[in-house]
Structures are given as structure tokens and as C-alpha cells.
Amino acid sequence: MIESTYDYVVVGGGAAGCVLAGRLAASSGKTVVLVERGRSDSNRWIHIPATFFKALQSQDAEAILSEADPSLDGAHYPVPQGRVLGGGSSVNGMIYMRGQPQDYDDWATRYGCKGWSYKDVLPVFIKQENNQRLTNEFHGNDGKLCVADPTPAHPVSQAVIEAAVNAGISPSNDFNGASQEGVGWYQVTALDGQRQSSAHCFLKPELHRANLTLETNLLAERIRFKDKRAVSLEARHDDGSEHVIHARSEIILTAGSFQSPKLLMLSGVGPKDQLSKHGIKLISESPNVGRNYQDHVGTPVTRELKGVNGLYGADKGFQALKHGISYFAARRGLLTSNLLDAGACVDTSGGGRPDVQFNIAPFAPGAPGSPPMSCHAVQIHPMTMRPTSRSRLGLKSSKASDAPFFESKALDTGADFDTLRRGVRIAQEIFTQSPLREIVGDEIWPGANVSTMHGSNTFDEAIRAQARTIFHPAGTCAMGGQADSVLDPELRVRGAENLRVADCSVMPALISGNTNAPTMMIADRCATFILNEE
């Protein structure tokens, strides 16, 4: 058995962990170890923006599969997650979106998360950002995270943007500015043909420091406590050898919305029934660990293209060779694109703020959990921005190597169904507008056999069959001002000492948009909380 000792033990080398470990090492002068169960981000598909689909299909990602979901007619709901240095920021679609100001104001007022209002978090976003185009009160230009416009802009996506404007959606040149509403080009965490992951931007520039250690291929198994104080992490290397890492100061979990609550439960912090069922000694009863799971759910409206090409076949044969030469010779061309280059945020309910996000892309997504379809096509992909459905995580066993028990209820509420129905109808309306209508053919989904009219018997069945994750699980270690919240507003685990969580799982309510940028912001705030206590 190997034993080592550090001041701070950061568990999980994803989007949050890379930010947190890098900042603690640079600013505290104390020793820091970052523990990641996956390997280093050496996979070439990670760093080339357009090949993130290949990274998702490699050993650097895994799908957590739910039990049969009654809200999806008993289907199992797969949620892919990064299992590599950089986590989701190494395998995601690189869309940079922060959410709406009201999201954070709701955290502060509705959930008791003092210090998390929009005015509190905006300076952190600005500090982290190095925006290549925008310079104003909403954006930064001196941070470590490079944010840029997508290149090259695909002409099919441009046609969708113009059609959306003709359908009455206002144009937008900044989804993170004064207003999120509108349609336009996303900004992305990619620059000059290089993915700007959390590992690339925040961790690697600090790895030269003698007080920062990175351990990959090391599975965290449980936290050891002395009374209520977290003192050590039990972990295991790929070869089966044990490694106990002692923490002089704190242990911080940044392992994500599946793994952070699982590790808490394996360590004795969680719902009493889950722990006793698997013979785990109770350290602190925390009934909401693993609860409050939420995710953005989408149903991509898709039509064939006619007379123009999308992205089908771009990764095969002569086309692949041409794109490869262009990329490796000059860092130009399709491989520099994140593919999901445009989108829209629309208020479909008249509630005063966008409730549906649309991803726009010139390819046909396959069935949930499957690769893209083999045809030239375009998608307008509506998704719920503030889902009301809630799912739950538990334990399958007391083994850290086992996946968590995942009880999914992805579309459990009528409100979420209503939101997707409205989103699908708006997407269909956009397809009827010029110049998009001149370049599209048959509808692939929902298709000619499905009526999307009000009262349709076939529409909801089609939604259940097509519904899929948008890769944004959150909320399973939620912070809040209530005594039964898993975390307090400074991300400390209630009922334990010297233990925090700082990743997407801490969100009391999912933000309205992509979660990569907010997750990095959360980690940065956690570092501030820790450093202020030194």
C-alpha cells in the first residue's frame, strides 16, 4: 500500500477539478494533489474540435445507464460522461454559455444560497474569460479560458439562422450579454483548432509547480473520517494496488453529478436507507445526497437536405483526407469547427425569459445513444432549459467500481412535455421559412406519420422515443440555506468537517444553458472560499 500526504486533496480531474487544483496550488503555497480515475488527455480526438464525437465513443467517456424510465415508456436512459483529465470539458461540444441572470438570483433568493446571485458570479466569469471578440461589461479579455467565435461558419447553419429571424426570433450576437434571447452563432471554447478544455487552460500551466501533483488512473473508493472530520482518501490504482492519501486541510470532491454523490454515500454520508442496505457505516445522515438530479432533455427536429451538403461523409474517404490535410498543415477547415456552431434561446411560453434552447447543426442525429445518421441533413434541436422533472441516484453496491443506481424520470412532469411540444412546433415553423425551406426535403423526425397538432395521440409517443440527454446532469449534492441541503453556500458538506463538493452537482436548480462555464465558475468560487479561510 502507498501512503502520501497533502494539504488539499481534490477528487476528480474534470472541468471543476482542474480549475480548483490549479488555483489552490498557485495561490495557497500549500501542497495539492488532483486525483482522476481516467487517463491523461492524450487522445488526439479530444484536442481537435470537430472530432469530439470520436472522443465520446472512446475509452475517455462512459455512459451511465438508468433503470427503466417510466416517463420514457420503460426505456433505459444513457447519460455519457467524460472519464479523462478535463472531464466534460475534454469531450463536450465546446459551447460557451453561462445561463441567465435570474438563474443565479434564484439560487440566492429561492434556495438560500447567499453570495451566489448574478452580481456575485458575473465577476468570476469575467475573470476566467479571454474573449477573442467581445469587450464590454459582460466579458473579460485577460483570463485563462479562451472563448471565440466558431470557425468555419457552416452555410447550412447560416440558412437556419436567417430562417429563424424570418420566423420572428430576434438575432443575437452574444448569448452571454445583456439578454440571452435570440438566434445566432454560439461562442465556443476552441481557438485556432485547439479545444480549450479546463485541463488545457487551467491545470497544465500550473503543473510545473512543485506543490501540485497529478494522479491519473486512480479510482477514489471512499473517504476516511475521524469522528466527523474527513482525514484521508482511500484509492486504488489500475494494477489493483491501494493508495491512501491523507489530507492536512481539506478534501474537495469535484467528480461530477454521478460520482461525487456516489463517493459521499460510499463514505457514510447520505440517505440512511441506502447506506444500511449496503452495510456502510453511517457518518452523517444526509437524505438529499443523490436526490434532485436534473438534466436538459431534447428532441432534435431533423430534415433531409436537398441540393446542398451537410456534414455526412466528412469523416470518410477523400473528404476525411482533405480535411485532415487542411487541419494538420494550416489549422484550417472543418476540423477546427465544433460542429454545433449555432443556436437559439426562445421564450416559448410567454413567461418573460427563454425556456427552450435550440442547437442548430448540419447533420442528422441518430437514435438516443447512437451515432449520427447516414444522410445529409440538418437539425434544429429544442431542449428544456429549466426542467421540472427530478431523478435520483443511489448505490448498487458498496464497490466503488460499480456504477451508481440511476432512477431516471427524464420527462416526469407535464410542464416538461409542454415545453418540448412548443419547441418542436417552433422548430417546424423555422423549417418553413426562407432560405431554409429551399434546401430541405423530407422530415426525418418527427416524420410524416406523426402529427404535432394539439391533442395528437402520436406526438407524445414520438417525444418519449426520441428524448435524450443534453449531457448536463446536475443537482445531486445541492447547496442551499436549509438544514437538509447537502452543502452550505460555501460548498461545505453539512454533517462533516473539512469536506466540500465543487462541481455541477452543487447546483440547486439547473441553469438555463450549457453547464461547462458555470461548473468552472463554481470551482473558482470554491477556491476563493478555501483561500479566504487560510
Q: For residue range 269-326, what is the model confidence (pLDDT) as tens digits?
A: 999 999 999 999 999 999 999 999 999 999 999 999 999 999 999 888 989 889 999 9
Whether the Cβ atoms of residue 400 and residue 266 lie closer than 8 Å to each other: yes
* pLDDT average, residue stretch 121-129: 98
**377: in domain:** yes
Whether the Cβ atoms of residue 186 and residue 96 lie closer than 8 Å to each other: yes
pTM to 2 decimal places:
0.97
Query: Which class for 27: exposed (0-12), middle (13-18), buried (19 or more C-beta within 10 A)?
Result: middle
* pLDDT average, residue stretch 490-500: 98
Instruction: Convert 159-207 into a string of H (helix), E (strand) and C (coil).
Output: HHHHHHHHCCCCECCCCCCCCCCEEEECCECEECCEECCHHHHHHHHHC
pLDDT digits (tens, 9 = 90+) for 46-101: 999 999 989 999 999 999 999 999 999 999 999 999 999 999 999 999 999 999 99
**45: in domain:** no
Q: Taking 90 as the threshold, does the pLDDT of residue 435 lie above it? A: yes
Domain that holds residue 445: 151-185+297-384+412-466
* pLDDT average, residue stretch 505-534: 97
Query: Which class for 237: exposed (0-12), middle (13-18), buried (19 or more C-beta within 10 A)?
Result: middle
Q: Which of 139, 200, 381, 472 is catalytic?
A: 472
**534: in domain:** no
pLDDT of residue 373: 86
Q: Taking 90 as the threshold, does the pLDDT of residue 152 lie above it? A: no
Nearest to 364 by CA among 438, 289, 312: 312
| Number of domains composing the chain | 1
**423: in domain:** yes
> Is residue 4 classed as helix, strand or coil in its secondary structure?
strand
Q: Taking 90 as the threshold, does the pLDDT of residue 369 lie above it? A: no
**20: in domain:** no
* pLDDT average, residue stretch 160-169: 98
pLDDT of residue 340: 93
Amino acid occupying residue 411: L
Amino acid occupying residue 199: A
Across 316-339, b (16+ Cβ under 10 Å) vs e yields eeeeeeebeebbeeeebbbbbbbb
CATH number at residue 329: 3.30.410.40
**453: in domain:** yes
The whole-chain average pLDDT of the chain stands at: 96
Active site residue 472: yes
Residue 18 per-residue DSSP state: H
**496: in domain:** no
Q: Taking 90 as the threshold, does the pLDDT of residue 368 lie above it? A: no
Bigger pLDDT: 57 vs 388 = 388
**513: in domain:** no
